[in-house]
Amino acid sequence: MPIRYTTLLRLYPLFTGLLYFACSSSQPEQKISKAQEKTNQSIPILVNGSKSFEWPEDLQIEGITFLESAEKHMISFLRKLVVSPDGELLYIFDSRQQKMLVFDKSGKAVRVFDHQGEGPEEYLDMTELQIDFEQGIFELMDYQKIKKYDLNTFDYISTDNLGHLPRDKNFRNFVRIDDVLYLWTNLPPNQRVGQEDLGEHHLIKVEDGQISYFVEKQYGVINGQVFYPSPTKNEYNLPPVVGSTDLLTVTKDSVYVKYSLDYGNRGVPKFELENYWERQDEIFNSNYYKPAQNIRETKNHLYFEFAGNRSEYHFTLLDKRTNSIQSIGKPSKRLNPAIIYSDAEYFYAYLIPAFIVNYVESGGDLSETTFFKDLDISKLEKYDNPVIVKFKLP
């Protein structure tokens, strides 16, 4: 699979309730809100350039899953993983093929959802996928529409049209919490609309016909996943926008700052962020620390990544019980898989088999790795589907 490992680490890569939007000539009630300063937890980010990120030695591997690699179940780009509450099923959003693949915990392929097309019950472009296990449904973002399907039969249920909402409609991500809908837009500047139509906020909350705006536009955003599941039910974490170091959390009733990252004098100066959209590559490849991404949280730990010197990614693991950093630094070269999902107890990670095979062929010793000490290399072919690792920390 022609996917660079650095890209996998950068692009990591559920909602409940029902909300129906009826087209109306009247404008919904609108208000602008700010994220609450619910906590004052500041995390000092201090990196020792000579140290690599290392997972704790007492990390516990719960299982390694070899996903079946039959032709119709091949994964091109693993954008998102969602695990059923009982741990029995793995739902994988392949953003390159625009489909959802389902495997059981042993790796056996179960089903493939692929309804791409121009019909009313089909989708043209799947940019986000959310699953509600309690309601037995899943929804996907398709341009200015959210389409709903039955999770068991994959039958089409309904479409929510977002075209009547005011201001920017280039929504990329969403999540539902009961009867509340949160929508996210990157506010890209290259839109054929006036400034008054573009809007000034990235996060939109829709509840009972009322619209609230959060996360005011500053300089830009880093494209990627937005609503990361929190260990608390019906809570989701958001990464900072460019120009901020605040990790936000959304609930049904509020948007609040959960953590603030303290980069000291290593953060990107405000003056450097002017014209960010035109200078993204230049800024990303600078020596400054960039906003955190891939926010993964269990009940006891918080994991995230941020780009540092010349776009080299640094991994960070925080022990929430002591509010102290357990490990921080660039990843070691001993086969660190990419973290792709977390729940209250477990982290889930994946790695392309080609990296494992190449590591062994180059003289690497799997017994010296954290995650693959007992891996049977004979089970792997270079271009098989990704290997999924489930693990937890004490």
pLDDT in 10s for each residue of the chain, 394 residues: 333 333 333 333 332 333 333 333 345 667 777 677 666 688 999 888 778 999 998 999 999 999 999 999 999 999 999 999 999 999 999 999 999 999 999 999 999 999 999 999 999 999 999 999 999 999 999 989 999 999 999 999 999 999 888 877 789 999 999 999 999 998 876 655 555 667 789 999 999 989 999 999 889 888 778 999 999 999 999 999 999 999 999 999 999 999 999 999 999 999 999 888 888 889 888 999 999 999 999 999 999 999 988 778 999 999 999 999 999 999 887 889 999 999 999 999 999 999 999 999 999 999 999 999 999 888 899 999 999 999 999 9
Nearest to 32 by CA among 176, 201, 208: 201
The strand pairing partners of 248, in sequence order, are 238, 257
Q: Is 178 left (phi over 0), alpha (psi -120 to 50) or beta?
A: left
Three-class SS of residue 339? strand
The domain defined by 5-392 carries CATH number 2.120.10.30: yes
Residues near 313 by beta carbon (within 8 Å), at least 6 away in sequence: 6, 9, 10, 305, 306, 307, 330, 331
pTM comes to: 0.89
CB 173 within 8 A of CB 15: no
Nearest to 141 by CA among 173, 165, 117: 173
Angle at 351 between CA 347 and CA 352, to 5 degrees: 160
Nearest to 314 by CA among 292, 342, 341: 292
CB 262 within 8 A of CB 41: no
Q: Tell me how far the alpha carbon of residue 299 is from its chain's centroid.
A: 18
Structure tokens at 155: 């039958």
Residues near 122 by beta carbon (within 8 Å), at least 6 away in sequence: 115, 116
Q: Tell me how far the alpha carbon of residue 335 is from its chain's centroid.
A: 21
How far apart (Å, rounded) are the C-alpha atoms in residues 227 and 238? 6
Residues near 1 by beta carbon (within 8 Å), at least 6 away in sequence: 75, 76, 352, 354, 383
The dihedral formed by the CA atoms of 128, 108, 136 and 79, expressed in degrees to the nearest 10:
-10
Nearest to 344 by CA among 293, 292, 296: 296
Residues near 144 by beta carbon (within 8 Å), at least 6 away in sequence: 161, 162, 163, 169, 171
How far apart (Å, rounded) are the C-alpha atoms in residues 8 and 77? 9
Distances from the Cα of 79 to the Cαs of 12, 117, 144, in angstroms?
A: 6, 21, 21
Three-class SS of residue 234? coil
